Amino acid sequence: MITRRSRIGLTLDVDEDGRRYEIKQGYVEAVLEAGGLPVLLPHAEPVAAAYLALIDGLVVTGGAFDIPPELYGDARREVCGPSKADRTRFEKEILEAALAAGLPVLGICGGMQLLNVVRGGTLYQDLPSDAGIGGHEQPAPKDVPTHPVKVAAGTLLWRLLGPPVPEHRVNSTHHQAVREPGTGVLVAATAPDGVIEAIELPDLPFAVGVQWHPEAVRRHDPRQAGLFTGLVEASRGGPR
């Protein structure tokens, strides 16, 4: 008898011309290794909520683009990078629907930032310009852990990453970051310079966002695979 795998939706990126969907293999591999079934989600904004009938959990993936500041009530400045309007509209629509339905959600990099924004939070458009903070745009190779984060004890993230350690080393590449956490958003991890590196929504069964890329760094730190294991378990009603 074949055991049904939990179906985990993965949002897709688009190439520079907007003519080709793309996704890093690490996302697919991490879901498969955690026992889930990856389901790739093209940007179909008018029917975004309809995808919820097909999936048991959602990963909002990262990418080399910025969340439009208009979404969090800020005026765009030159320091803000390029956006991908169609992708963000779709991801916002499906993320809001997933949260409303209590679907387990994992936001990665820009996905974490969007998770904060849909809860009414704000972002730094550019950490060096807005906060005088640099050092968060990691050079290649992107999968190697390069800087420490401290995970708050007792959080869901703290439990997902296994036995507690003083700090975790992660691989984050970003010039934007959470500025003001949104309604019900709990800060789950910070960098030594105070930059928020992870958030979660305690009012929901499973809603976690990390600024780094666990799908890539898990090859160097297997504990990071716990984020995907936890997502898959939550998506089938397993332990949280």
**What is d(CA 93, CA 106) in angstroms, rounded to the nearest whole number?**
15
Tell me whether residue 136 is one of the annotated catalytic residues: no
> Is residue 1 assigned to a domain?
no
Residues 6+ apart with CB under 8 A from 19: none
pLDDT in tens, 95-146: 999 999 999 999 999 999 999 999 999 999 999 999 999 988 888 888 998 8
**What is d(CA 127, CA 194) in angstroms, rounded to the nearest whole number?**
11
Q: Tell me, what's the pLDDT at 19?
A: 87
> Is residue 42 assigned to a domain?
yes
> Is residue 100 assigned to a domain?
yes
**What is d(CA 207, CA 105) in angstroms, rounded to the nearest whole number?**
5
CATH number of the CATH domain containing 112: 3.40.50.880
> Is residue 14 assigned to a domain?
yes
> Is residue 80 assigned to a domain?
yes
Q: Whose structure tokens read 């992660």?
A: 170
Q: Which of 43, 109, 175, 233 is catalytic?
A: 109
pLDDT in tens, 7-32: 999 999 998 787 899 999 999 999 99
Q: Give the residue-averaged pLDDT of 193-221.
A: 97
**What is d(CA 156, CA 137) in angstroms, rounded to the nearest whole number?**
26
- Where does the pLDDT of residue 2 fall: very low under 50, low under 70, confident under 90, or very high at 90 and above? low
pLDDT in tens, 170-203: 998 999 999 999 999 999 999 999 999 999 999 9
Number of separate domains in the chain = 1
User: Which residue segment(s) compose the domain that 97 sits in?
Assistant: 6-235
Q: Taking Cα atoms as reference points, which of 195, 208, 203, 190 lies closest to residue 105? A: 208
> Is residue 213 assigned to a domain?
yes
Q: Whose structure tokens read 């999936």?
A: 55
Q: Which of 197, 200, 215, 233 is catalytic?
A: 215
Q: Tell me, what's the pLDDT at 240?
A: 40
Provide, rounded to the nearest whole percent, the portion of the chain with pLDDT above 70.
98
Q: Tell me, what's the pLDDT at 18?
A: 76
Q: Tell me, what's the pLDDT at 1?
A: 52
Q: Which of 174, 175, 213, 233 is catalytic?
A: 213
Q: Give the residue-averaged pLDDT of 139-168.
A: 92
**What is d(CA 77, CA 47) in angstroms, rounded to the nearest whole number?**
32
Q: In this structure, what are the phi and psi dihedrals at residue 2, rounded to the nearest 5 degrees?
A: -85, 125
Report residue 217 CA to chain centroid gap: 14
Tell me whether residue 80 is one of the annotated catalytic residues: no
Say how many C-beta atoms besides its own lie within 10 A of residue 22's C-beta: 10
Tell me whether residue 29 is one of the annotated catalytic residues: no
> Is residue 240 assigned to a domain?
no
